[in-house]
Amino acid sequence: MMIESLKHLPRPQLSNAELSGQFTDLAPALSARQAIIESARCLYCYDAPCTRSCPSEIDVAGFIRNIHDGDINSAAHGILKQNILGGSCARVCPTEILCEDACVRNHHAEGQPVKIGLLQRYALDHMKFASHPFTRAATTGRKIAVVGAGPAGLSCAHRLAMLGNDVVIFEAREKPGGLNEYGIAKYKLVGDFAQKEVEFLLAIGGIEIRYGQTLGGNLRLKDLHGSFDSVFLGLGLGASRRLGLTGEDAPGLLAAVDYIAALRQADDLTQLPVPARAIVIGGGNTAIDIAVQIRLLGAEEVTLVYRRDAAKMTATGHEQDIAKANLVSIRTWAQPQQVLLDKAGRVRGMRFEKTRMEAARLTGSGETFDIPAEAIFKAIGQGFDCADIDGLERDGDKIRVDDQFRTCLPGFYAGGDCVAPGQDLTVQAVQHGKLAALAIHRDLMAKMEAA
Amino acid sequence: MADLSINFCGIKSPNPFWLASAPPTDKAYNVVRAFEAGWGGVVWKTLGEDPAAVNVSSRYSAHYGNNREVLGFNNIELITDRSLTINLREITQVKKDWPDRAMVVSLMLPCEEHYWKNMLPLIEATGADGIELNFGCPHGMSERGMGSAVGQVPEYVEMVTRWCKAHTKLPVIVKLTPNITDVRLPARAALAGGADAVSLINTINSITALDLDRMIALPVVGNSSTHGGYCGSAVKPIALNMVAEIARDPLTKGLPISGIGGIGNWRDVAEFIALGAGSVQVCTAAMLHGFRIVEGMKDGLSRWMDEKGYRSVAEFSGKAIPNTTDWKNLDMNYQVIAHIDQGSCIQCGRCYVACEDTSHQSIAQHIEASGARRYEVIEHECVGCNLCEITCPVEDCITMVAQDTGKAYMNWTQDPRNPRREAR
Ligand SMILES: Cc1cc2nc3c(=O)[nH]c(=O)nc-3n(C[C@H](O)[C@H](O)[C@H](O)COP(=O)(O)OP(=O)(O)OC[C@H]3O[C@@H](n4cnc5c(N)ncnc54)[C@H](O)[C@@H]3O)c2cc1C
Ligand SMILES: Cc1cc2nc3c(=O)[nH]c(=O)nc-3n(C[C@H](O)[C@H](O)[C@H](O)COP(=O)(O)O)c2cc1C
Ligand code: SF4
């Protein structure tokens, strides 16, 4: 995948092997012995806070006890029955604000949470099942369309298949996985893990994926309405927000997610354009991800600019530490004012205005400064965009659903990033997919009984 | 999926996991929660004659490991402190609501036949599946001539068992005390009295720790203490041996055994069953962690059974008995030697000091100029005692490797070094 907007920039200095070596696991896997020692630290709390804070309701204390008892398959089964993408969640979840934040071992007299994410990964890396660990219930004869093969869609499809339904997934791109395949930082989900996990998930049977099928393009809601008993939309957030400045489309300025997608898909990392100096705008995890990855590819100076103070950044402290460890400089209290272009009309830097809080409102101070750079990456959030869902009510720009993930159209459900509730996290999308599948199944069964 | 259901001396249960007669089975509220969590059966907290027993305040104490995990647990509680009427009413109701679970009622009464004769019809009327005779409680009740005071005298065991068999059609399980020199004797007595099964072990006399400022043992009651009954993980090895002793005794061969003592996970369960238990009972582990532990036991045991190809509990019950024998039958020509995997050695030096100070000086310590340390087995000195393997904190770092001695099996009775050898 070529990045049009940056094609004028140089290619990395290092070889493909050296570059690939930069993108190994951020948190290395536990050895068998580390897993035993770590699992022994768990107190097997009752009504455990870690489980309460897991968006996918994994019985954390239970699976850690299984590991400690030497029963890896039961640990894995316990994780997967709640979260079929537990392998990627073990790697990408911001555990520092979820289960590990809740762990009682964080208490000031204790110091360190149990490494729950790594233990989860350990169980799933070492499980040994002769066949897929879940079986399908007797067929219901119902057929359900899922749009989007991201975490929400996949999780929904798996649960529906398990309950005895047949599923067809319609996916716009040429590979499944959603942001697991195209968006997550390369050092969190390494190699082809995302594809391997989808293969494992599909092994339950009863799920067909059709690629190159875009809702609003070659696929219409009303077609689905006619041919399926229910429809689940797991569309994610396709659109990158705009800065609203002139020069926004100049060569050198692009959305962080587009670059990350190209990076994740590249077989040969030496073909990626890499700026010597880059600016990243935003304060979330995507901003950290792009800043760190572009550094790992060889950019010399990467400056992340955020308009408030570091404590307000949505990137967690842990994420900010990763950026600092990779020598990304973080500048706070400044907002973009002007894209600076060279004679050829390409990005040569950006002018920022300093900001401050005045009467509880963020305001520009009028004072400006310039940062020279060959590339500017926008990481100011993703928005929902999809043609052909006009019939659906919105909550802001996202799809409105009730607590059973039903949209306002009967038979249509939605979940994951494209709906309003919750945080935009992989684990949240998996949970939405699972709960929506249960709701779809329940509603269909109720209809069958009534008929 | 492996079939976990059992038929233990005529008592059916969806799985072999029962809760032992103790606080977890004290009343309907607990037992219902246990059944909801998935336990296959319970032995109801021991009933006695009315008026009910009265307990003291401060009742438990523990023997802790380094991380404050409870290794052993000690109690000075008596049998049920609730009235007979309430207990019988609750047992009836719970059995009615949970017909597929095993409901065994534990009993302790004075050593006179009329007490048993009067009580047994009341138990039968509840719909219970069996009775267990508590000849094991080693504290309090034994001072009143019951519990272990009965269990320690085989003649009493046989006599009371016979009364019970005469006055009820329900299966009779005799619960044995470990506070005895040879547990086979009361087991034989129980069988002679007509027992359908034995269960063991009850608790072991114990004092766990002292308050050294006040010079009183724990648990403290006012200004004094008393010995209690010891249970929990620490007693498992004692219980396993006692189960094996009865299982391999020709005089009690085939007598069903309910294994009790220190069971906390699926592996413990598998071990008791392999040494001859047909069901297992748990008390302390449930008291420490709640009823939810049964989930891991069920999952773990059935996965392990699937892996090994055992379709039912009966298929591996007693499988380790033929391999459990007397010392005199062990192979004198068998030889193992310690092997240290240098790749996984963390250089703690524990194996070295253990062998150097207390065993056979068979591990050499090399300290390089850099300070790096290396431990090597001096193979011709190693007797194969396992001490270094046991003291090593890294699993599988030290392994005991069987040597090919080229010599055939020869036991002590055949060994020329044995001055009293029988065979040649
Ligand atoms: C750069 C980045 C880094 C992230 N890092 C993390 C992280 O470290 N940890 C974490 O927990 N979360 C992270 N997230 C968030 C996480 O990736 C999302 O919350 C999660 O992927 C949402 O899943 P989803 O299924 O709702 O949507 P997506 O993963 O976006 O999947 C949507 C799928 O639908 C398809 N699709 C979209 N529109 C159509 C259409 N019209 N027709 C057909 N198919 C369509 C898409 O191609 C895609 O396959 C990150 C997000 C980004 C952008
Ligand atoms: C607090 C307490 C009370 C007990 N009460 C009884 C009892 O009433 N009757 C009985 O047969 N055993 C009683 N026991 C013994 C248990 O049933 C069991 O035999 C013993 O605790 C060993 O099992 P464990 O290691 O799983 O705890 C009691 C044990 C404890 C800890
Ligand atoms: S909170 Fe921590 S110690 Fe408690 S159960 Fe969860 S992981 Fe274990």
Three-state secondary structure along B156-186? Answer: HHHHHHHHHHHHCCCCEEEECCCCCCCCHHH
Please indicate if any CB of chain A lies within 8 Å of the CB of B65.
no
Compute the C-alpha angle B94/B97/B101, nearest 5°. Answer: 75
Asked if B296 and A62 come within 8 Å (Cβ–Cβ), the reply is yes
Kindly list the strands in the beta sheet with B60-64, ordered across the sheet, starting from the edge strand earlier in the chain: B60-64, B70-75, B228-231, B204-206
Which of B295, B299, B348 is the best mutation test for A, with the most CBs of A within 10 A?
B299
**CB contact A105 to B (< 8 Å):** no
Cβ <8 Å between B266 and A71: yes
Distance A332 CA to ligand 1 centre (A): 28
B33, B267, B271, B295: best to mutate for the A interface, most A CBs within 10 A? B295
Judge contact between B268 and B277, C-beta under 8 A: no
Cα(A19) to centroid(ligand 2), Å: 63
Q: Is the peptide bond before B51 cis (omega within 30 degrees of 0)?
A: yes
- Comparing alpha-carbon positions, the chain A residue that sits nearest to B265 is A69
Instruction: Give B112's pLDDT tier (boundaries 50, 70, 90).
Output: very high
A44 vs B contacts (CB less than 8 Å): 289
A335-377 pLDDT tens trace? 999 999 999 999 999 999 999 999 899 999 999 999 999 999 9
Q: Delineate the domains of chain A, giving CATH numbers in brackets.
A: 32-125 (1.10.1060.10), 143-238+384-450 (3.50.50.60), 240-378 (3.50.50.60)
- A260 in Cβ contact with A175 (< 8 Å): no
Marked catalytic residue, from B9, B111, B137, B388: B137
For A43, the closest chain B residue by CA position comes to B69
* B137 classed as catalytic: yes
- A379, pLDDT greater than 60: yes
* B151-171: pLDDT as tens digits: 999 999 999 999 999 999 999
pLDDT for residue A405 is more than 60: yes
A71 min Cα distance to partner chain B (Å): 6
Q: How far apart are CA A60 and CA A98, in angstroms?
A: 12
Largest CA distance in chain A: 71
Looking at residue A111, what is its pLDDT? 83
pLDDT value of residue B140: 81
The lowest-confidence range among A52-61, A389-398, B237-246, B349-358 is A389-398
**Nearest residue on chain A to B304, alpha-carbon basis:** A71
C-alpha neighbours within 13 Å on the C-beta side of residue B145: 5
Pocket of ligand 2 (CB under 6 A): B 20-23, 45-46, 73, 75, 77, 79, 106, 134, 136-137, 175, 202-203, 231-232, 235, 260-263, 282-285
Query: Does residue B423 surpass a pLDDT of 80?
Result: no
Pairwise CB contact (< 8 Å): A36 & B395:
yes
The confidence score (pLDDT) of residue B1 equals 84
A414 in Cβ contact with A234 (< 8 Å)? yes
B299 and A71 in contact by Cβ < 8 A?
yes
Closest CA to A94 of A319, A311, A310: A319
pLDDT for A324 equals: 96
What pLDDT sits at residue B57?
Answer: 94
d(CA A258, ligand 3 centre) in Å: 38
- Confidence band for B424, pLDDT divided at 50, 70 and 90: low
Q: List CB contacts of A218: < 8 A, sequence separation 6 or more.
A: A212
Q: Quote the pLDDT of residue B346.
A: 87
* Chain B residues with CB-CB distance to A73 below 8 A: 303
Q: Which residues of B touch A36 (CB under 8 A)?
A: 395
Q: What is the percent of chain B where pLDDT is above 70?
A: 100
**Averaged pLDDT, A46-65:** 95
- Whether B293 and B326 have beta carbons less than 8 Å apart is answered as no
Whether residue B267 lies within 8 A of chain A, CB to CB, comes out as yes
What the block records as the tokens of B255 is 């007598």
Q: What is the mean pLDDT of chain B?
A: 95
Q: Where are the alpha helices (DSSP H) in B146-290?
A: 148-151, 154-167, 184-192, 236-247, 266-274, 284-289
Q: Can you say whether the dihedral through the CA atoms of A219, A220, A224, A230 is positive or negative?
A: positive
C-beta A42 within 6 A of ligand 3: yes
Give yes or no for A66 touching B (CB within 8 A).
Answer: yes
Q: Smallest Cβ distance to A74: which of B67, B289, B296?
A: B296
Strand partners of residue A255: A378
pLDDT tens for residues A161-207? 999 999 999 999 999 999 999 999 999 999 999 999 999 999 999 99
pLDDT at B14 over 80: yes
CA B185 to chain centre: 18
E strands, A312-346, in order: 329-331, 334-341
Question: Which chain A residue lies closest to B294 (C-alpha atoms)?
Answer: A62
Handedness of CA B407, B412, B413, B419 (dihedral sign): positive
Answer yes or no: are the C-beta atoms of B165 and B172 closer than 8 Å.
yes
Residues of chain A found within 8 Å of residue B344, distances taken between Cβ atoms: 33
Decide if B253 touches A, using CB distance below 8 A: no
The residue of chain A with its CA nearest to that of B394 is A33
Q: Are B244 and B90 in contact (CB under 8 A)?
A: no
Residue B292 at interface with chain A, using a CB cutoff of 8 Å: yes
A421 pLDDT above the threshold of 80? no
Tens digits of residue pLDDT in A197-238: 999 999 999 999 999 999 999 999 888 988 999 999 999 998
Q: From CA B206, how far away is CA A447, in angstroms rounded?
A: 64
At A2, is the pLDDT very low, low, confident or very high (cuts 50, 70, 90)? low
The first and second tokens of residue B389, run together, are: 């393997």
Tokens found for residue A316: 């967690």
What are the C-alpha distances in Å from A61 to residues A67, A75, A447, B246? 10, 10, 38, 37
Residue B19 near residue B25, CB atoms below 8 Å: yes
Residues of A in contact with B265 (CB under 8 A): 69
* Residue A451 pLDDT: 81
Q: What integer is the mean pLDDT of B326-335?
A: 96
- What b/e string do you get for B234-259 counting C-beta neighbours within 10 Å, with b at 16 or more? bbbebbbbbbbbbbbbeebeebbbbb
Predicted confidence at residue A391, as pLDDT, reads 84
Would you place residue A4 in the very low, low, confident or very high pLDDT band (cuts 50, 70, 90)?
confident
**Is A36 part of the contact surface with chain B (CB cutoff 8 Å)?**
yes
- Average per-residue pLDDT for chain A: 94
B70-75 and B102-107 beta bridge pairing: unpaired
Q: How far apart are CA A42 and CA B190, in angstroms?
A: 43
Residues of chain B with Cβ-Cβ distance to A62 below 8 Å are 292, 295-296
